[in-house]
Chains A and B, each alone.
Chain A
């Protein structure tokens, strides 16, 4: 060590100064990485919302076509009795087609006529039927009716079909384009608020498909989930937090709760399929089974939230109650539980919000069936909003893309509402000790 080559002797100050520039640069770089990570995350949020809104805001509008319909008596009511049964069973396709032919007398030939008839939705017949049933005197008269346009026409009216594409690449061919333009020039086309989207169930036809069935199914399912998981979750939390002595059993329960909270949701679906449907013979596709599965899934969330709400109640409250001669159960039921309730409710709402967005386990128990009717009870076949989104997203029709985004917006609005309620509850009722 003695024959070392002469090294310039640096003081520590000089050593530090020599590297300082590099170190500061490293500092800046590190900071920039952090900031850009945050920005990437936020960009993802913004991009996600932007795509969905940009794809889906048109779902809340719907194109209507005005038809000048003649309700001819010999077509609709040959018996002439005006009986509701006859009117219900009548063929309303005839007046719809007649009205279209009258509007375009120059369209001739089988395939051309087929295209002409294809401009309006199949729901047009139902519209006419409803009008006639409501007012049978319309028969034999003329009536100007706005009916739903076909989904491809709807896309065209909303500008989602590029007219400059060659005809073979377009969903709408030149002739349909000409017919549409003629209707539009005559002010027979209108884009209005899409109320059927909120008042009808699912359909194979995009223009007739709505979210009401899925919404009702979601509400029924969440109702079952709440009724089952909230009382049980609160009871379990009260036991673990207030009564349980630390022993093997409570340790086991705790390990189980923590693990269940992290079990993939699809495994709960397998449980539901094998237990509730296969073993107990409960009906498939029912909100009852969906609710049961989701309750098991949300139970850990509710228990964990309720326990922390109970922990937040200071021991002085309990001691005061004991001091007044209250028993353990009385102390908990009369004093601790009411004070912890806002926190527990917040936890329950957050758990519900997660259950609301869950779809994988519900696929397992058959809630993916195509269901047109709005469910009326807990054992009716039903679907839920996220599964409806899944079904529409996997449908090939172009018009379902905007419907899917529209349904996603409805779902997100519900989530937002629930979280807002949770935040409100927390800020309004939570007490700081």
Chain B
């Protein structure tokens, strides 16, 4: 039996259980007319029966599926000829891959080694048995669960309360997914990063100034060990983020001030959505723009001034990233400026201040914490931005503060290390996770601080 067939059978059974449960509740009080004697509406009895039918069946099916695979694996491997015993993890993985491919028909069985062929046949046989048995057990579990409730249905059964409790548990489970995602990120990134730090000391990684993660194919090759000093990456990330913020903060802040304080309603209604278009454009489009338009443009302009600008300069990536972040800064600053109570402005006007003096000396200082929070969020976004730098910044890990040179960033290196083949035992792959860990921690810290600041500020005027 295919897994999908079993699921469909279970769903049909569930629908039947609903009907049966509902009928029985009505029958217990002598038909529709007696429904008022039931504790809950008849539908709730149906729902309860259906839930008791579907949940055990699906749970059994899921457990069977995961446990079954392990058992089959063990059994198949133990039956293979002696030369396949005692392999290390990597070889075992390759062998399993071969067997799986034969089973799935990706490789014709005739092309495989005889031992693998035999294993594949054995695998298919066991899998068939396991699926059939799992399906039958799951259906039995569903039937038993349904029957259990069905027998207990009587007018006093508090069906609605039980159903509602189930609903509430389901809602809680859904909201816990947010926590689970965070845990998942931390665990997966941390686990691989720890593996990496076993191979490369943390201090070498954090304070080393040479980054060349290429692993040698031969042991005697020059630089065979690879160098994993991440300082050039941090410096490159910082350089690009600083350039981006030098664009985004003034432009974003001033446009927020203009739109919130000076612009009339019609001007605002047109320009604000236009600016926000910038926030909706996918980052890959910015990357294309940076790599094919801004980069060459800067190069030509630089040459006319006698400067040598690398075609993948930090400046191009930073400029475009700044443009991307403008609406982010401006809409946050706009919120913060409009949140400043009118009474503060009125007070300043009454003292004879001009509008700009009011803004500079009263509104902005009042809104400053919020704006700082917004800027921190923007910085965290600039650090984590990937596509623009992958497409427009280079791969060479230069430790430089010259914006005309090519630099590389943390995110670029994560992408280049992981795209393509990824064996999970080479330091090259694991290094990406170590970088990911650093990225996650830094952005997390920035976000927490920023959200705190923003929230505190909001409360101030609420």
A interface, CB within 8 angstroms of B: 16, 23-24, 26-27, 29-31, 33-38, 40-42, 44-45, 48, 51-52, 55, 231-233, 235-236, 238-240, 243-244, 250, 252-253, 256-260, 262-268, 270-271, 273-275, 278-279, 296, 299-300, 303, 327-329, 353, 356-360, 363-364, 366, 368, 386-387, 389-390, 393-394, 401, 404-405, 408, 411-412, 415, 419
Contacts and interface: CB of A to CB of B under 8 A. Distances in A.
B287 A393 contact: yes
Most buried by A among B288, B291, B357, B447: B288
Interface stretch (B13-21, B22-30, B199-207, B253-261): B253-261
A35 to B, nearest CB: 6
A266 B384 contact: yes
A235 B189 contact: no
18 contacts: A34-B257, A35-B258, A37-B254, A38-B255, A233-B174, A238-B171, A260-B181, A262-B451, A267-B384, A270-B185, A270-B418, A329-B168, A359-B283, A360-B386, A360-B411, A393-B287, A404-B288, A411-B282
Nearest to A408: B285
B54 to A, nearest CB: 16
Given A23-B357, A390-B391, A38 B175 contact: no
Contact of A236 (B178, B380, B415, B433): B178
Nearest to B189: A270
B175 A253 contact: yes
Nearest to B267: A38
Interface string B157-179: 00010011001101110111111
A244 B169 CA distance: 11
A256 B285 contact: no
Contacts of A258: 447, 451
Given A257-B178, A259-B182, 7 more contacts: A41-B278, A239-B172, A243-B168, A263-B443, A265-B384, A267-B189, A267-B443
Interface string B273-307: 01101101111110111011100000000000000
B291 to A, nearest CB: 7
Given A258-B451, A262-B377, A359-B284, A41 B433 contact: no
B280 A275 contact: no
A364 B451 CA distance: 28
Contacts of A274: 188-189, 191-192, 433
A256 B282 contact: no
B184 interface: yes
A364 B418 contact: yes
Given A35-B258, A232-B177, A30 B356 contact: yes
Contacts of B385: 264
A303 B451 CA distance: 17
A40 B247 CA distance: 10
B84 interface: no
B347 interface: no
Nearest to B297: A51
A115 B262 CA distance: 64
A176 B262 CA distance: 61
B222 interface: no
A267 B439 contact: yes
Most buried by A among B175, B181, B357: B175
Interface residues of B, number: 89
B191 A33 contact: no
B426 interface: no
B327 interface: yes
A413 B31 CA distance: 57
B178 A27 contact: no
Contact of B284 (A44, A267, A328, A357): A357
A228 B184 CA distance: 17
A248 to B, nearest CB: 12
Given A264-B383, A358-B282, A415-B280, A34 B185 contact: no
B182 A256 contact: yes
Nearest to A34: B258
Contacts of A231: 174
B354 interface: yes
Contacts of A358: 282-283
Contacts of B261: 34
Contacts of B179: 252-253, 256
B174 A411 contact: no
Most buried by A among B262, B274, B277, B330: B277
B275 A262 contact: no
Nearest to A411: B282
B285 A24 contact: no
Given A41-B330, A42-B274, A419-B280, A52 B384 contact: no
B444 interface: yes
Contacts of A264: 380-381, 383-386, 411, 439-440, 443
Contacts of A38: 254-255, 258-259, 263, 271, 275
B349 interface: no
Contact of A408 (B255, B288, B381, B432): B288
Contacts of A33: 254
Nearest to B384: A264
A273 B418 contact: yes
B367 interface: no
Contact of A270 (B168, B174, B181, B436): B436
Interface pairs A-B: 7 shortest CB-CB: A264-B384, A357-B282, A34-B258, A37-B254, A274-B188, A30-B356, A235-B174
B148 interface: no
Contacts of A267: 185, 189, 384, 436, 439-440, 443
Contacts of B336: none
Most buried by A among B182, B184, B284, B419: B284
Interface string B399-419: 000000000000100110011
Contacts of A30: 355-356, 359-360
B38 interface: no
B177 A236 contact: yes
A264 B444 CA distance: 9
Most buried by A among B287, B289, B383, B391: B289
A423 to B, nearest CB: 10
B231 interface: no
A239 B433 CA distance: 34
